[in-house]
Amino acid sequence: MKLIKYITGIALMSILLHSCSGAPSESIPSDSYPDIIPDYIGVTIPEGIAKLTFEMADGTNCRYEMEREGDTLWYTVTSWRKGDKKATLHKSFPVYISSDPIDPYIAYRLIEPGYESWHNIVIAQRELATYKESRIVSNRANDMGCVNCHTFDSGNPKKMLFHARGKGGGTVFIDEDQVRIINLAQIGAQRQGTYPAWHPSGRYVVFSSNNTRQCFTINEYQPIEVYDTASDIILMDLQTDSVMLVPQLSLETRMETFPSWSEDGSTLYFCSAASVENVANNRGQVHYRLMSAKFEDGQFIGEPEELFGDDSCSVSFPRYNDGYVLFTHTAFGTFPIWHDEADLWMYDIETKEAFPAEILNSDKAESYHSWSSNGKWIIFGSRRLDGRYTRVYIAHYKGNGEFDKPFLLPQKNFKHNTLRLKSYNIPEFIKGEVKDYEKAVSKLFK
Amino acid sequence: MMKKRGKYIIAALLFVVVFCIGALFQSYTAIIQGQNSLFLFTGDYFRETFAASWPLSHLLESFFLQFYEIPMVGPLLTALIVTLIFLLYSFFSQRISSPFPIVEVFQIVDAVALACFSWIYASMAETPLILFKILLISFGLALVALFAKKKEAVKLKIWKIAVIALFVIGSALFISISKDIRSVETTAKVRYATYKGDWNTVLENVTPKSSIERPDLMPYAFLAMGYTGELGERLFTYPIQNIEDFDMEGIQSIEGNYFNSLLNYYMGNYNEALHHIFQYSCHFPHGITHFSLSQMIRYNNLLGKYSMVRKYAQILIHSPRYSTSASKLLKRFEGAQDSIPPAGHLSSVARTTTNNPQYDLLQLSLAGINSKIAQERFLCYLMLQGDLDNFVEAFRIFEWERIPRHYEEALLLAGVDPNEFGISAATQKLFYEISFAMAQADIPTVDRMAKGSYWEYHFRKQKEGAYDSGLDFDL
């Protein structure tokens, strides 16, 4: 035992020495913050999140010391180049700790940011307090078909659904140990489900049913445009397993998509655009509006109301919280992740005004987002790191439509973000750990 | 001593034979296998590898396979592994006693047989994975045998030497004359030459004669001729039967994506080249390969997306094979700023491509990409469709120093004034002679004179009633 301790001690010492080797003994103080990647300067994090790791953006060596003062962590970074006689001691930067709790897990899909095909797709989960990532289900379970659109019933890790495409495919519903697959296209409205939204009561799920296509631009900065040629909203009653087309949300002349419920389930928010002929060539004319529809006793009541939008923008992924709807704002179209101009905006239900959530946005795409179960945090996908591979950011909600500076989901080593050849897709908060359903789902496809 | 030496002589011979046969008949196959491999020292890579079956063999295979991309290293490593299988298994069979005496009789022969069958199987498979599976099993058996007491080595009898020779020569012959293996090698050679832009090799290997048996390789020849400027001169000397023989548009196979990626690269349509290389990657176990990573670096560089160049270079640094070159590349692109569109620019104004080659080529031209290959391919599509009115229109747009033969043939069919277009006297003469023969219903003469010309293709399509446009040329 002593010997093991001795060897471990020697190993740790050598690692420590190695990490500091070449560090000059003297340093010159600097008035500026260190240029670190990811930018964690002044971000707000939840208590207990995994340690933030970063490096100097210009690749120089660095080490840091961290000190906690109340609800603020102060990071003091020293950086130096190989061969420097003196290091630079940068101005200490703060990281604020919020007392608002956050859900312990997040779920996302890992997929290549590619085109029509894919290879490995995994719906994974990540414990926020650690770097532990584990599988919920992968497309090995359905013979390398697509798995997508995972959704939880109000963040409940025991109740979820996702689509598993391919031969024998359909929508997989998980309720604790009960795993079943239903091909929505074979019942009721005979439409395939795409974007789902689980009603807070847990009884209903609305899906948009989209006919999605792609076109490819010639040497344009944005390489792909993904668009719908048609889309409608369907409602599923999980008590009877029946599916019906919602007539007022399935107009022939319009495309309805991205359904999302209010907290109490009395309102469905969604997006709707006028149908356009030859969408690929006229994609600049496709402008989705933010809409709402009233829902009561399992039925939609009255005509939908247009809340926001005009012919200069397009709305995607409306998500309600605290009197506001957070949505993705683009110049046109329905697939923001390929749009560099895509930003997160807030719509104030009371004042009927929409405004950009500036602090969340970058010059690259911000896209899918969702609220934590207590409405105090948001998680969203952004391509700000390299323009192609979506990474997950988390931001604290201050209230009154305002956010604190977001932070990149911490990894054990920042380089993981560079080395991972997958995008993080549909990040969602979950209230606990989800079981590995790989085997159970595989059985559905045998 | 002699008995021991016999085993090593067999091993040396086996090594030499496997290497020579590999170098002669499978060297390009090995290069392509190397291109399609992936080995990275990254967490995700190991996680994905261990999530699949036979992870150790996959790991071993990927590690070795990455070096196959270097010419002649593939055959060398294959020879080494086959020899190792032989040595490890013979070590096992010499130490472990079998309850069946017949097994003892075939000692050494069984190891040669195992090595030869593994070699043949690996040569016929898409990747040499089986070799690594057998190698691991043999290694395991040899480990077990370490604990067994060594038996007395069996003397190599004449019949054994004859059987071993039969196995080795038989395997070598099988691989060298196998039609499938040769076909795969030709494809690999043509693919590699296209990647390298070695058009002479492409055209030497895809000839009008060879295309009768391998029409699937014709698109490579047409791409090469587009580059060398011979498309309008030689297209119809190939046995092209349909417009589908011209390219691989819309073909979502490994071959189709490989070809389309290179075609679009050579035409200057780098977004489409990237699109196809992504699609290509999806056919492989990790959804990416060394080749696709290096091509993505190439295309992103041309598009001015240096962030992506750096990302892929940083990934390749974790590959033992590409680490050094990736480090150099990273240094070269350090701090390079992405070429981004001006503020307010919207991609909705950009021209797009679909899976309609003719439309796509037109869009390419409208997008301002003045690719000679694209222009000539566009003319060829119009000819192949029998759309001669539009052919004439398009032909007028481009400038010609000398009109290629097939274009002259198409122009004459379209009924243009030969002098206005400067059509050569020889082609005019031939055209009138064929017209005369047709008027006389002298079909054998027409067939003979039109052979290898656009007219031959055109008359056949007319006869088949296959043109959509329903063109009617009353000669």
How large is the average pLDDT for residues B258-286? 93
Q: How far apart are CA B151 and CA A263, in angstroms?
A: 79
Three-state secondary structure call for residue B54: coil
Q: How far apart are CA A200 and CA A263, in angstroms?
A: 7
> Given this model, what pLDDT does residue A22 score?
67
> Given this model, what pLDDT does residue A102 score?
98
Per-residue pLDDT band for A117 (boundaries 50, 70, 90) equals: confident
The number of residues making up chain B comes to: 475
Maximum alpha-carbon separation in chain A = 78
Among the listed ranges B109-118, B325-334, B437-446, which one has the minimum average pLDDT value? B437-446
Q: What average pLDDT does chain A have?
A: 93
How large is the average pLDDT for residues B108-135? 94
Q: Note whether B78 contacts A: Cβ–Cβ < 8 A.
A: no
Q: What share of chain B is helix, strand, coil (3-state, %, to 5)?
A: 70, 0, 30
- For the cut 90, the answer to whether the pLDDT of residue B364 exceeds it is no
Three-state secondary structure call for residue B395: helix
How large is the average pLDDT for residues A377-391? 96
* Contact state of B284 with A281 under an 8 Å Cβ cutoff: no
* Contact state of A225 with B352 under an 8 Å Cβ cutoff: yes
- Torsion region of B236: left, alpha or beta (phi above 0 gives left; psi -120 to 50 gives alpha): alpha
How large is the average pLDDT for residues B425-448? 92
How large is the average pLDDT for residues A104-131? 93
- For the cut 60, the answer to whether the pLDDT of residue A14 exceeds it is no
Q: How far apart are CA B290 and CA A121, in angstroms?
A: 20
How close A353 gets to chain B, by Cα (Å)? 23
- Residue B122 makes CB contacts below 8 A (sequence gap 6+) with B78, B128, B129, B130, B131
Q: Which of residues 336-365 of B touch A (CB under 8 A)?
A: 338-341, 345-354, 363-364
How close A330 gets to chain B, by Cα (Å)? 10
pLDDT tens-digit map of A34-91: 999 999 999 999 999 999 999 999 889 999 999 999 999 999 999 999 889 999 999 9
> Given this model, what pLDDT does residue B370 score?
79
How large is the average pLDDT for residues B9-35? 96
Per-residue pLDDT band for A9 (boundaries 50, 70, 90) equals: very low
Instruction: Give residue B393's identity as a one-letter amino acid code.
Output: E
Residue B472 CB-density burial (10 A; 0-12 exposed, 13-18 middle, 19+ buried) = exposed
pLDDT tens-digit map of A295-306: 999 999 999 999
Q: Which residue has the higher pLDDT, A116 or A176?
A: A176
| The token pair that represents B292 in the structure block | 């696709």
Q: How many CB atoms lie within 10 A of CB B83?
A: 22
* Contact state of A421 with B315 under an 8 Å Cβ cutoff: yes
How large is the average pLDDT for residues B428-440? 93
Q: Which residue has the higher pLDDT, A446 or A134?
A: A134
* Contact state of A119 with B349 under an 8 Å Cβ cutoff: no
Q: How far apart are CA A385 and CA A417, in angstroms?
A: 9
Among the listed ranges A127-131, A139-143, A185-189, which one has the minimum average pLDDT value? A185-189
Helices (H), A194-258: none
What is the DSSP secondary-structure string of B304-373? Answer: T-HHHHHHHHHHHTTSTTTHHHHHHHHHHTTTPPP--PPTT--GGGS-EE-S-HHHHHHHHHHTT---HH
Q: Tell which residue, B284, B360, B327, has the closest CA to residue B129.
A: B284
Give the start-end residues of each E strand in A50-102.
Answer: 55-56, 61-69, 72-80, 86-89, 93-98
How close A427 gets to chain B, by Cα (Å)? 19
How large is the average pLDDT for residues B301-319? 96
* Contact state of B272 with A218 under an 8 Å Cβ cutoff: yes
% of chain B surpassing 70 pLDDT: 94
Q: Which residue has the higher pLDDT, B49 or B366?
A: B49
A3-30: burial string, b at 16+ Cβ within 10 Å, e else: eeeeeeeeeeeeeeeeeeeeebeebeee
Nearest to B350 among A115, A217, A386 (CB): A217
- For the cut 60, the answer to whether the pLDDT of residue A11 exceeds it is no
- For the cut 90, the answer to whether the pLDDT of residue B360 exceeds it is no
How large is the average pLDDT for residues B155-172? 90
Which residues on B lie below 8 Å from A439 (Cβ)?
none
Interface residue of B311, B317, B327 to substitute, partner A, most A CBs within 10 Å: B311
How large is the average pLDDT for residues B388-412? 92
Among the listed ranges A97-106, B155-164, B287-296, which one has the minimum average pLDDT value? B155-164
What's the ipTM? 0.88
How large is the average pLDDT for residues A305-330? 97
Among the listed ranges A169-178, B47-56, B337-346, B371-380, which one has the minimum average pLDDT value? B337-346
- Torsion region of B95: left, alpha or beta (phi above 0 gives left; psi -120 to 50 gives alpha): alpha
Residue with tokens 């979506």: A390
How large is the average pLDDT for residues B6-27? 95
DSSP state of A155: T
- For the cut 60, the answer to whether the pLDDT of residue A418 exceeds it is yes
CA distances to A30, B241, B427, B452 from B237, rounded to whole Å, are 73, 11, 16, 4
> Given this model, what pLDDT does residue B103 score?
64
Q: How many CB atoms lie within 10 A of CB B352?
A: 22
How close A112 gets to chain B, by Cα (Å)? 8
Q: How far apart are CA A196 and CA A209, in angstroms?
A: 9
Q: Tell which residue, A169, A168, A149, has the closest CA to residue A160.
A: A149
Beta bridge partners of A54: none
How large is the average pLDDT for residues A420-431? 96
| 3-class SS string, A195-211 | CEEECCCCCEEEEEEEE
Nearest to A216 among B282, B287, B353 (CB): B353
Q: Which residue has the higher pLDDT, B152 or A361?
A: A361
Residue B216 CB-density burial (10 A; 0-12 exposed, 13-18 middle, 19+ buried) = middle
**B408 with B425: CB under 8 angstroms?**
no
Q: To 5 degrees, how large is the angle CA B162–CA B165–CA B169?
A: 140
Q: How far apart are CA A395 and CA A44, in angstroms?
A: 7
How large is the average pLDDT for residues A166-174? 93
How large is the average pLDDT for residues B453-471? 75
Q: What are phi and psi of A193, to 5 degrees?
A: -85, 145
Q: What average pLDDT does chain B have?
A: 90
Which residues on A lie below 8 Å from B279 (Cβ)?
114-117
How large is the average pLDDT for residues A365-389? 97
Question: B205-209 long-range CB contacts below 8 Å, 24 or more apart?
Answer: B208/B237, B208/B238, B208/B239, B208/B452
% of chain A surpassing 70 pLDDT: 95
The number of residues making up chain A comes to: 446
| The token pair that represents B9 in the structure block | 């002589």
Residue with tokens 């122009």: B411
How large is the average pLDDT for residues A217-225? 90
- For the cut 80, the answer to whether the pLDDT of residue B471 exceeds it is no
- For the cut 60, the answer to whether the pLDDT of residue B2 exceeds it is no
Q: Which of residues 230-269 of B touch A (CB under 8 A)?
A: 252, 268-269
- For the cut 90, the answer to whether the pLDDT of residue A4 exceeds it is no
**A264 with A200: CB under 8 angstroms?**
yes
Nearest to B311 among A218, A283, A418 (CB): A418
- Residue A86 makes CB contacts below 8 A (sequence gap 6+) with A24, A26, A27, A28, A80
